[in-house]
A and B are shown apart, each in its own frame.
Chain A
Amino acid sequence: AQSVTQPDIHITVSEGASLELRCNYSYGATPYLFWYVQSPGQGLQLLLKYFSGDTLVQGIKGFEAEFKRSQSSFNLRKPSVHWSDAAEYFCAVGSITSGTYKYIFGTGTRLKVLA
């Protein structure tokens, strides 16, 4: 069955430090992968997506993610974190099951940024 795992429930980094959020997926075919961010009381905002081609994907707000098929991973990175990046981050995979297209979300990683 398709699944998405975000191993880290919470991550704390200092402002200006680098960031990597982990995402592992289980999907039989070529995955369609997404990272979303959710600030408190807000909806989810798309950061970036991977469908095919270059395995290093650039997104908004200075984020990037790298697709590694051999590791079934799609980790999100940012070289220098800003205090405004504190939020919940969700990895998601688009999948087709019995002809029905669905998004499967990971459980999320809450990022705290120290001043």
Chain B
Amino acid sequence: DTEVTQTPKHLVMGMTNKKSLKCEQHMGHRAMYWYKQKAKKPPELMFVYSYEKLSINESVPSRFSPECPNSSLLNLHLHALQPEDSALYLCASSQDVQGLNSPLHFGNGTRLTVT
């Protein structure tokens, strides 16, 4: 069982839709992450939140908009996506973003398909 919960598990959306991905953790972790993973590839970092503040944006297009309402929740708002954005979106958390000995804990991901 994963301690990082992501909803929904699957999402199909059109290019004009607006949708949101949600992530929740109750481990008291202060860093939360969004990764994008294409098939047969490693996860690619998108955003990092540290103590509810955005600390890293890996030059992600503005059609992806992250939000961290509190220390347990992380959202990813999607708008006007392209078919090439179809991927597995993984949320992760760690105890502290500056802790080199702080491993990532991943959710099971949201499988996104853009039509």
Contact = CB atoms under 8 A, between A and B. Distances in A.
Interface of A: 32, 34, 36, 41-46, 49, 51, 90, 94, 96, 100-103, 105-108, 110
Contacts of A102: 45, 56
B81 interface: no
B106 A107 contact: no
Nearest to A88: B40
Interface size class of chain B, counting residues whose CB lies under 8 Å from the partner chain: 20 to 34
B111 A44 contact: no
Contact of A41 (B2, B105, B111): B111
A105 B100 contact: no
Interface string B79-105: 000000000001010000111111111
A43 B106 contact: yes
Nearest to B101: A51
Given A103-B45, A108-B42, A42 B109 contact: yes
A34 B100 contact: no
Contacts, number: 59
A45 B105 CA distance: 7
A94 B109 contact: no
Of all A-B residue pairs in the complex, the 9 with the closest CB atoms, nearest first, are A43-B106, A105-B42, A44-B106, A43-B108, A51-B101, A32-B100, A94-B100, A46-B103, A43-B107
14 contacts: A34-B103, A41-B108, A43-B106, A44-B90, A44-B104, A45-B2, A46-B104, A49-B103, A90-B42, A94-B102, A101-B97, A101-B99, A103-B45, A106-B42
B111 A51 contact: no
B4 interface: yes
Given A51-B101, A101-B97, A42 B42 contact: no
A26 B2 CA distance: 31
A43 B90 contact: yes
